[in-house]
Structure 1
């Protein structure tokens, strides 16, 4: 096998990975460790289409990484691994691009942990575990926030005292940047235009969802903010909401600030509106069967998304294309239709047959020939991380 990159995406109780060939960009081994920290922790592997799952004797991140190491040895793939690339959610203002891991980089990620307390500590755990299990291998970090560091200050500043920005880093950062970089480049190819000459809005829609204005391949505005709570309606997150709701709910429900934060992040969004599920597929099925909560949830989701897409065109001055990606964006023809039909004034006209065809991995254009293009593109964040890592360590992917 050619030289390969091991991509690690570490969560607080999970670890997702992919082994990607640095030349042909194919992932031959992928896997996911779940329930880390619990007695029934396990890891699943997929190698050349074959799947297997095993219980982790050491049910933590170290045990998961050790299981990956053993699997690589069993498959005679260990020697092909030349570097490891890690996804990190928050790089603050310090990291404007991906970086080789050093003690100084780790220290900066730790300093950013207060901006992403649910994510960065888990990423750091994955980084330290990988360094321990794969001593001597070069390792890199790819930040979700770095893509958005090209936003102008009129887009990233909040209208709060400037001392909060200077002294406490209070500003809008944006997320899903690794996905946006990949999708924007793929869209430019589909449009037959140089990336530098494009003006696009991209919606990355999954359980976490955001939309971003991309001008000449650079992020110029986005919906998520200081944290991933701001912006669109999401699976369990409220998205945009009146900040005074914290004091109101604290008074009405007797919650402290952590209780209100938990409610807005974990019990709101599609789940809260529908009182049924945060899974878009379940909600679409329920809506077809007349479930009013599901109907309301999807209606609000689509309206808020359409409104944000329209607003983001202000940052572009024109619209060359609208892009859909992420689990919902790539698979929900229902929601894409609901959104595009609210954006006719921007020159978007849905092709119903093309829209219905773009599911389960099928990408392509979903608008008519006389319309502003709307494209469905399958994102590949792992490949983006592998390519950045190969470049930083000199593998020339």
Structure 2
């Protein structure tokens, strides 16, 4: 079975073509074709890679035309990997917000499309882009089966006392609650952790730290997310690259009243000009923050210290939800690539008997346990593979 995956973000898109034979393999295979698109003003920057070829090109085209270009590259030119588009069996899409309506992946129908459109008010930067991908596939591949894999689905069983905000009770009927995000990554990493450790997922209490430009934690018990840091939107919880994370809501009232902020100004401030970028004044990229710290930049050091404090703070909250911890996981860009962040976080939890193996921590670990042999808590660094998780969901539904 050949599965095409479209993982669309607000400013970029990753696409992969996987081939799965009779069963899902134990270890994730490499895609037979992959593509990345960065949407820039008036241009799409495209990178396509196969086992035998690489292609980089800038094209001036609409969203639909760009996807058509990618589809054509599957069976034409130097990046050709199939003879005919009819060889593709199913297309899987990451859809950011499934609301309360979708607690698992679904085959896309017109009713599903309509609901995703309605939920766009909850994820205005993402759901409309996800819909564009679905529509482009309909346009260029006809009535091929498509599957929606929701970023919120993994968190859909979080208990009400952790999901309902302590505001007006009427919010519940209005759909205002903690949804959580990064669910595809959290699901993949927790399942991968069980395989790496050779243990049943139902026997493990895990905290997954998804630390990229966006950051969130998930507390997982019996294979299910029971608590998470992102809330009604992806703005809640941890300090992030350019997002503030949780702040005193009274501060927002103050800014609206005293500084004449508009909702649009607040949106831009909290989502694009806060976090590591806002505090450091340098960048939202952890690598640049650490580089500035090494040169004595005090604001960069403050940004790092706040970031680590918030991580430790929320890991503590997840610990309480789980009532213990067997496995701590680090994933995504910062989680996978920053030994400094991993060390700074883990240092605070020595009281749990958590001990790092410093050599493993600094040796570019991938899908391994970096805890010391005597550590009572396993510490895994896992390369998250959302696209593969989407492909697996498609395989299950085909």
Q: TM-score, normalised by structure 1?
A: 0.94
Cα shift at 1:294: 1.3
Cα shift at 1:49: 5.8
Correspondence 1:353 to 2:365: no
Change (3 A) 1:229 1:41: same
Candidates 105, 109, 121, aligned match of 1:102: 109
Candidates 367, 370, 373, aligned match of 2:374: 370
In structure 2, what is the Cα distance between the partners aligned to 1:252 and 1:392?
Answer: 53
Spell out, residue by residue over 1:32-60, the C-alpha distance to the aligned partner (whole angstroms, 9 max, x if none). Answer: 12225x32323221111632122324x22
Candidates 299, 305, 309, aligned match of 1:303: 309
Q: Which residue of 1 aligns with 2:31?
A: 27
Correspondence 1:191 to 2:197: yes
Change (3 A) 1:298 1:386: same
Candidates 327, 333, 340, aligned match of 2:333: 327
Alpha-carbon contact 2:211-2:332 (below 8 Å) kept: yes
Spell out, residue by residue over 1:133-158, the C-alpha distance to the aligned partner (whole angstroms, 9 max, x if none). Answer: 11121000000000001111111010
Alpha-carbon contact 1:198-1:215 (below 8 Å) kept: yes
Q: Which residue of 2 aligns with 1:392?
A: 397
Q: Which residue of 2 aligns with 1:158?
A: 165
Alpha-carbon contact 1:320-1:373 (below 8 Å) kept: yes
Cα shift at 1:76: 4.8
In structure 2, what is the Cα distance between the partners aligned to 1:355 and 1:242?
Answer: 35
In structure 1, what is the Cα distance between the partners aligned to 2:54 and 2:303?
Answer: 35
SS of the residue corresponding to residue 244 of structure 1 reads helix
Spell out, residue by residue over 1:284-316, the C-alpha distance to the aligned partner (whole angstroms, 9 max, x if none). Answer: 111112111111111111111011111101111
Q: Which residue of 2 aligns with 1:113?
A: 120
Q: TM-score, normalised by structure 2?
A: 0.94
Spell out, residue by residue over 1:254-279, the C-alpha distance to the aligned partner (whole angstroms, 9 max, x if none). Answer: 22122112101110000011110000
CA RMSD of the aligned region, Å? 1.4
SS of the residue corresponding to residue 9 of structure 1 reads strand
Candidates 160, 174, 177, aligned match of 2:180: 174
Q: Which residue of 2 aligns with 1:266?
A: 272
SS of the residue corresponding to residue 41 of structure 1 reads strand
Runs of at least 5 residues in structure 2 that lack an aligned partner in the other structure: none
Aligned residues: 386
Q: Which residue of 1 aligns with 2:299?
A: 293
Alpha-carbon contact 1:199-1:215 (below 8 Å) kept: yes
Runs of at least 5 residues in structure 1 that lack an aligned partner in the other structure: none
In structure 2, what is the Cα distance between the partners aligned to 1:112 and 1:10?
Answer: 16
Spell out, residue by residue over 1:223-276, the C-alpha distance to the aligned partner (whole angstroms, 9 max, x if none). Answer: 000000000000000001011222212234322122112101110000011110
SS of the residue corresponding to residue 31 of structure 1 reads strand
